[in-house]
Chain A
Amino acid sequence: MLGPNRKFTEGLFKVTTHRDRTLTVFSVIILLAFLFYADRNFDSYTVRILENIAIFITLAVSYNLINGVMGQFSLAPNAFLAIGAYTSAIFTLSQEEKLRSFIIEPMLWPLSVISFPFAISLLLAGIATALVAVMMATPVFRVRGDYLAIVTLGFGEVIQVLANNFLSITNGSLGLKGLYPYTNLWWAWGVCIFTIFCTVRLINSSYGRAMKAVREDEIAAEAMGINALRIKTFAFAFSAFFQGVAGGLLAHLITTISPSLFTFMFTFNLLIIVVIGGLGSTTGSVIAAVLITWGNEALRVFEEPSNFFGFQYEGIPGMRMILFSVILILVMLFARTGIMGRSEFTWEGLLQWFRRKIPALKV
Chain B
Amino acid sequence: MDYSFALQQLVYGLTLGCLYGLLAIGYTMVYGVLRLINFAHGDLLMVSAYMAFFGIAIFGLPWPVSFIGSVLLTALLGILIDRGAYKPIRKSPRINALITAIGVSFLLENLGLVLIGGRPKSFPMPSLFSGSIVVGTINIPALSIWIFIITSVLLVLCVLVVKKTRIGIAMRALSRDMETVMLMGIDKDRVISFTFALGSSLAAAGGIMWCMKYPAVEPFMGVIPGLKAFVAAVLGGIGNITGAALGGLILGLAEVLIVAVEPDWSGYRDAIAFFLMIIILLTRPTGILGERLPD
Contact = CB atoms under 8 A, between A and B. Distances in A.
Contacts of B35: 146
A347 B106 CA distance: 38
Contact of B98 (A73, A155, A316): A73
B141 interface: no
Interface string A229-270: 000000000000000000000000000000000001000100
B102 to A, nearest CB: 6
A318 B270 contact: no
Interface residues of A, number: 43
B100 A154 contact: no
B277 A154 contact: yes
B274 interface: yes
B212 interface: no
B281 A139 contact: yes
Contacts, number: 112
A328 B99 contact: yes
A317 B114 CA distance: 7
Contacts of A329: 85, 100, 103-104, 107
Interface string A169-180: 000000000000
Nearest to B88: A333
A47 B267 CA distance: 39
Contact of B102 (A72, A162, A164, A268): A268
B285 interface: yes
Contacts of A326: 103, 107
A328 B103 contact: yes
Interface string A298-329: 00000000000000000011110110111011
A319 B107 CA distance: 10
Interface residues of B, number: 40
Nearest to A328: B103
B271 to A, nearest CB: 5
B95 A147 contact: no
The SS class assigned to the A binding surface is helix
A139 B277 CA distance: 9
A142 interface: yes
Nearest to A264: B223
B208 interface: no
B285 A165 contact: no
Interface string A259-284: 00000100010010001000100000
Interface string B183-220: 00000000000000000000000000000000000000
Interface stretch (B48-56, B166-174, B224-232): B224-232
Nearest to B85: A329
A332 B281 contact: no
Interface in B12-60: 35, 37
Nearest to B230: A150
A140 interface: yes
Contacts of B267: 161, 164-165
Interface of B: 35, 37, 85, 88-89, 92-96, 98-100, 102-104, 106-107, 110-111, 113-114, 223-224, 227, 230-231, 234, 267-268, 270-271, 273-274, 277-278, 281-282, 285, 295
Given A73-B98, A146-B35, A333-B88, 12 more contacts: A67-B95, A73-B94, A139-B281, A139-B282, A146-B37, A150-B227, A154-B277, A157-B274, A158-B270, A275-B99, A321-B113, A336-B96
Interface of A: 67, 71-73, 75, 139-140, 142-144, 146-147, 149-151, 153-155, 157-158, 161-162, 164-165, 264, 268, 271, 275, 279, 316-319, 321-322, 324-326, 328-329, 332-333, 336
6 contacts: A150-B227, A150-B230, A150-B277, A154-B274, A161-B271, A164-B267
